[in-house]
Structure 1
Amino acid sequence: MNAILNVLWLVLSGFWMAVGYAVAGVICCILIITIPFGIASFRMANYALWPFGRTLVDRRDAGAASLLGNLVWLVFAGWWLALGHLVTGALLCITIIGIPLGVANFKLVPVSLVPLGREIVPA
């Protein structure tokens, strides 16, 4: 079932969400000081391509640097990506078939707001 949902997800919204994360990652990597944000963005792009069967967990070793980094991310990129997930999730929830995909979009909102200090693991 996860494979079917992942393929539907990829076609309907996953590709475009991953492109958004990749663009944010490229911009962050161009600016040398924000490379950690770019790496986190590329991890989220990977998760946005194939989210079913995987989940996010908080890293135990994340500290104050992750908190400060998340605040910077929230101001400059996080709210744009979260808005994209909210709009896409609402549009997908209009149809019955799209409801699981819309819920997956809503599941990605918190990680798009504060990505540092989290890790993607198999469910």
Structure 2
Amino acid sequence: MRLLLNILWIIFGGGFVIWLEYLLGGLLLCLTIVGIPFGVQCFKMAGLGLLPFGKDIVDAPGESTIGCVLNVFWLVVAGVWIFLSHIALALGLAVTIIGIPFAIQHVKLAMLALTPFGKLVREAP
């Protein structure tokens, strides 16, 4: 079922476009030394954006002060806008019954987009 939902997500839910946007954003951020930690977070979101079904987001053990500062910077510069775009897509998809599973995945991505540092993406049980 996860495979089918992931294939439908790539085709109809915007998964390929989201993956491509996060991948390009991560590559651009990694061109600078300062942007490398943010680029790594974009790659994490790209992986989740391509195949979100069957994955969960969990807190990483041992939240650091640096991660908290980077989350605040991320939130101010990009996190709010990414969050709002995923919520807008989720609301648009939630209007239809068929789009509800895709809307749930956009909400999952929106929550990760707010504070990506200190989060891990793992396979769901």
Q: TM-score range by the shorter chain?
A: over 0.9
Q: Identify the range of structure 1 (77-86 vs 65-74) with the bigger mean alpha-carbon deviation.
A: 77-86
Deviation sequence 1:67-92 (CA, Å, 0-9, x none): 00001111112122112211111111
Q: Quote how far apart the aligned CAs of 1:119 are.
A: 0.7
SS at match of 1:121: strand
TM-score (norm 2): 0.91
- Which residue matches 1:3? 3
What residue is the counterpart of 2:33 in the other structure? 32
Where does residue 51 of structure 2 map in the other structure?
A: 50
1:64 Cα deviation from its structure 2 partner: 0.6
Residue 41 of structure 1, CA deviation: 0.8
Secondary structure of the structure 2 residue equivalent to 1:55 = strand
1:52-105 Cα shifts (integer Å, max 9, x gaps): 111111111321111000011111121221122111111111211111111111
Residue type at the aligned position of 2:103: G
Task: Assess, with a 3 A threshold, how the Cα gap between structure 1 residues 79 and 24 changes in structure 2: closer, same or farther.
Answer: farther
The answer on whether the counterparts of 1:25 and 1:42 sit within 8 Å (CA) in structure 2 is yes
Distance 1:28 1:18, change over 3 A: same
| Percent of residue pairs bearing the same amino acid type | 37
- The runs of 4+ residues in structure 1 deviating greater than 4 Å are none
SS at match of 2:35: helix
SS in 1 for 2:61: coil
| Residue type at the aligned position of 2:9 | W
User: How large is the Cα RMSD of the aligned pairs?
Assistant: 1.2
Residues 97-106 or 24-33, more deviating:
24-33
- Give the Cα separation in 2 of the matches to 1:64 and 1:82: 23
| Residue aligning to 2:42 | 41
